[in-house]
Amino acid sequence: MKKVAILLATYNGAKFLQEQLESLSRQTYTQFNVLIRDDGSSDTTMEIVRSWAQNDSRFRVVEYSTPTTAAAKGPINSFFELLDYALKDNSFDYFFLCDQDDIWSPTKIESQTQILNSLPANECTGVFSDLLVIDEHSKRLCPSLHRYLGVDPFNEIWPQVIVQNIVTGCTLGFNRKSGLLFSKTRAEALKNAIMHDHWMAILVCANGILKYTAQPLVAYRQHSLNASGGIKKAKLANKIKDLINAGLKARVTAIWNQALTLERLGLLGQIKLSPILLAKGLRVVHEMSKIDLRAQGSLRTFLFWLGTMIWKKKIAQLNR
């Protein structure tokens, strides 16, 4: 039976953490450990965590070994700290990312482990799922996040995932080979990743196999303290306004910076980005279309293509 490491990064999560830890303890798959790293919480998060670790040996607190590792690092670095810690234990076969404020379905590990078991052990592999959305009182808001957002993970998501990440980190599980690849690129990710789950999704798609299950295996909590993510009204006018307000230029250049970093590292598979940046005028769009570099949805695709054309000179200077 494969052993799973659940990587749980916490920060001032006392309000919802107990419910999440209870959901982890009720998993039908029993061969797992929950590795918990706190990022300097000022509430009762660590009291909750230590209580669980004292009463259930499957829960472990990742203690700080140096002042450097004890420093607050933010979510990306916290997950990499946990991953590097877990990789040192050769008993772990699979690794699952976990957020402090969600609730896992009792069959989450079992369902996703079955999928990982069916994939080649000598390749980078991963699996992610749909989510149902709940509010801060655990009331259901939406039965399927992916349907709400209008994305279809059953479609071929490569190379669209370069432009639009539809892999929510708290649903992602992966094998040791993927974990080693993620760890190898940690320094670059900390400088150039938009978010760790986006970085990881691209790496698995480009260098291995990423599978999807439509089962909503995580209750994804929306509240005022979310570090990332969100569910908003899906009216077209609101979508455009949100994208513009978020800074279209910053968003487009961040996508390109991340992709160009991975290309420079030789980790973007067969995708070649230089023909796009060398093209002129509408040829830029033609080159992107030729390799299917787009988002899932015409509006996001249009804005990404438009932004690439407008700021191509700036983009071409990235990662040099």
Q: In order of start, what are the domains of the chain with their CATH numbers?
A: 4-221 (3.90.550.10), 236-316 (no CATH)
- Measured CA to CA, the distance from residue 233 to residue 58 in angstroms comes to 40
Task: Check residue 227 and give its pLDDT.
Answer: 52
pLDDT for 246: 59
3-class secondary-structure state, position 236: helix
> Rounded distance, CA 94 to CA 72, Å?
26
| Partners of 133 in the β-ladder | 142, 220
Cis peptide before 120 (omega within 30 of 0): no
d(CA 109, CA 204): 19
User: Closest Cα to residue 185, out of 242, 267, 90?
Assistant: 267
Could you give the C-alpha distances from 165 to 30, 74, 97, 108, 216, in angstroms and in order?
30, 20, 16, 21, 17
At residue 68, does pLDDT exceed 60?
no
Q: Please report, rounded to a whole number, the percentage of residues in the chain having pLDDT higher than 90.
A: 83
Q: What is the pLDDT of residues 201-215, one digit of tens each?
A: 999 999 999 999 999
**Statement: residue 98 has pLDDT above 60:** yes
Assess whether pLDDT exceeds 90 at residue 124.
yes
In Å, how far are 27, 307, 314 from 190, measured between CA atoms? 32, 24, 21
> Is the per-residue pLDDT at 106 higher than 90?
yes
| Bridge partners (DSSP) listed for residue 275 | none
Give the chain's mean pLDDT.
92
Q: Looking at 117-121, 224-228, 312-316, which range is the least confident one?
A: 224-228
List, in sequence order, every residue forming a beta bridge with 210; answer none if it has no partner: 126
Query: Is the separation of the CB atoms in 130 and 215 below 8 Å?
Result: yes
d(CA 201, CA 132): 20
What pLDDT, in 10s, does the model give residues 233-274?
Answer: 445 566 555 656 558 999 999 999 999 999 999 999 999 999
The two tokens of residue 49 are 């965590």
Distance CA 197, CA 212 (A): 15
- What per-residue confidence (pLDDT) applies to 226? 56
SS3 164: coil
| CA–CA dist 59, 240 (Å, integer) | 44
> Which residues are paired to 213 by β-bridges?
129
* pTM: predicted TM-score of the whole model, two decimal places: 0.91
Nearest-angstrom CA–CA distance, 131 and 218: 5
More confident site: 73 or 114: 114
- Whether 284 shows a pLDDT value over 70: the answer reads yes
